[in-house]
Amino acid sequence: MRCSPRPQFLYIALAFLGCLMLYSITFISAVYNPFSRNTVVTQTGSNFLADADTFIHGNSSLFDHILSANAVDMQFDTNNGLLDLSKNELLDMVSRTRGYYARDWSLGLGWNNVRYTVETSLHHAQLMNRTLILPSFFLARTCEHHIDVCARYARTVNRNDAVGLEEWRKLPLAQQQAFMIPFQVMVDIPYLRRQGHSVLLVSEYLHLQGLNRTKEISSGAWDRHYYHKGPANPSLFVIPNGEYDPSEIVRVDKLPALTSSAAEGALVLSENGNLSNSTLSQAAVQKGKSILEWSDMKQALGFMVDTSDEIKLQRLLDEAGWVTLHTWQGAIGVDLTKDVVTPIRKVAPYTKLRGFIEDYANLDHDVVLLEGEIHLNRKPGSLYFTTVEGRDNFATIVLRDLQPSEEVRNLAKRIVKRMDSFNQGRHWVAAHMRRGDFVTIGWINEGTLQAHFKRIIARLEEGRKLLERLVGSSPERYNVPFSTASKTSKRKPPLRGDYVYLATDERSTESLELFRSKNAKVFRDLVTINDRRLFGWPLLYTDIVSQVEQQVIGTGAAYFYAHGMSSVRKCQRNPHAATNTF
């Protein structure tokens, strides 16, 4: 008679099979989860490049499971709203300053424009010796995938309602949404503090005041009432927006020392000084400006002095009661982009200057608030500098101190290495191709994407030829106060047909095929599944991808081409100057 298997053996076999299946599922999740920050992946064979879109669409059920398991509201994913410093450490940091400096942050703007405001505010806070209060979040505009994917990782808000505007109300509902990204994803705040800047987030400020950190205003505006209701009842001084730099004054960082032409606080000019002042004032009236370009000043005074003699020229300006101002040249003659790599000089009458330090550095209030926005149509820093040292200090804030997150920097380095490898160690060139809103507002001349791309490729070919001509020469370096030594200057120039890098908001399959047919690499061609896992969930958002791309081009490309009206140009050129990439 045949004996049937013992039930115990059957149970053991089933248990073993169940464990094996569980292990297999766990292994698959560990290998393919592109957003887990806690798993280390070892890939055998070649370092394959993988497109997350392909993975997501090919593994939708698994990906949905991963999202559900790891989804978290990241808006306040900190220790009671704190970052790297404890409450006592924050209080100690603030105690070494005169108090707080607050802004009405315009979070309806894109990241690069928000960054301009941060740069200016860091400088203002430094001039006043105050602790700058940064927003706790940034409103990312675009999701790289379906909105439901991005909504699981960051709080979603309607942009119109969040910032109090109607700009996007006519768009489809999905395109009206924004995602609240923790500010530390955009800026390396611990590094900023290590560079000597006293900064904290609104959530940290509210924590110190004993207030509910979830009451932070979504538009970025400073709440004049609730933010001052804590037990300490902090006092507030508001700088009215219209008093910052009205047309009749010139805002500078600090007033220069009075020249020998001044007495009793009023300028007393010599006969020669009166003639110089009258000449310069007439030139300013003709130009319709209170500030004269350096070239216009030299032309106006050419009949009185040898303008090639800087010492005599400066003496004549002193006698006229005019002051040399330092700033930077804007792209294509306007100040939409605010790079700090081409210093220039201008002149203005001393009587029109208003010093930021003199007006605001000695206030005794707990919080000083600058009302509204001041970056549009203004120079970097939203003021002029009366010394070279002051100008260079601001440039150092921009080039060295204010850095993207460590994750952004590290991913950019890996992508740069891959571009280097694709081109066998030769220099390579890059471009930014912005479509979207630039097409809508008519800033793109070409009617089709194909024609637009053809122009970009032609400009990159000009750049390649330029790099060829520079072989064996000693190109002039950027005139910046802070830069790291470049290790790429001895590389060979790119060859015709080498790979180029293209940062773009185009995502259609047809567009990508066109780009690749001309050896243009885009972000998704160069980022791996492992990169996405190491970086984490923020790569779901186009705003963060764009930040990585700017770092890639700024630190890796020997030549790049971008639209002069795009803020991306500045955010590529500044790191390019800081690393002297060539």
Residue that the structure tokens 């703007």 belong to: 109
pLDDT score at 7: 46
Give the Cα separation of 550 and 54 in Å (integer).
24
Residues 449 and 545: beta-carbon distance below 8 Å: no
Res. 194: pLDDT tops 70:
yes
Q: Give pTM, 2 decimals.
A: 0.84
Q: Report the pLDDT averaged over residues 49-74.
A: 39
At 91, the pLDDT band (50, 70, 90 cuts) reads very high
pLDDT score at 267: 57
Res. 412: pLDDT tops 90:
yes
Q: Phi and psi (nearest 5°) for 291? A: -115, 135
pLDDT score at 339: 87
pLDDT score at 565: 55
H-run or E-run covering 327:
strand 322-328
Query: Of 38-47, 250-259, 513-522, where does mean pLDDT reach its minimum?
Result: 38-47
Give the Cα separation of 188 and 392 in Å (integer).
22
At 444, the pLDDT band (50, 70, 90 cuts) reads low
Q: Report the pLDDT averaged over residues 383-406.
A: 97
Give per-residue pLDDT as tens, 340-377: 989 999 999 999 999 999 999 999 999 999 999 998 88
pLDDT score at 323: 96
Question: What domains are there in the chain, each with its CATH number?
Answer: 7-64 (no CATH), 87-242+364-370 (3.40.50), 250-360 (no CATH), 406-579 (3.40.50)
Res. 69: pLDDT tops 60:
no
Assign 188 to helix, strand or coil: coil
pLDDT score at 287: 87
Most confident of the ranges 154-163, 170-179, 365-374, 573-582: 365-374
Give the Cα separation of 190 and 113 in Å (integer).
22
463 versus 76: the higher-pLDDT residue is 463
Q: What percent of the chain stands above pLDDT 90?
A: 62
Res. 71: pLDDT tops 70:
no
Give per-residue pLDDT as tens, 196-252: 999 999 999 999 999 999 999 999 999 999 999 989 999 999 999 999 999 999 999
Q: Is 108 exposed, middle or buried (0-12, 13-18, 19+ CB in 10 A)?
A: buried
pLDDT score at 490: 77
Long-range contacts of 80-84, Cβ-Cβ distance < 8 Å, separation of 24 or more = 80/207, 80/213, 81/136, 81/201, 81/203, 81/204, 81/206, 81/207, 81/213, 82/203, 82/204, 82/207, 83/184, 83/189, 83/190, 83/201, 83/204, 84/189, 84/190, 84/193
Mean pLDDT of the chain: 83
Res. 467: pLDDT tops 50:
yes
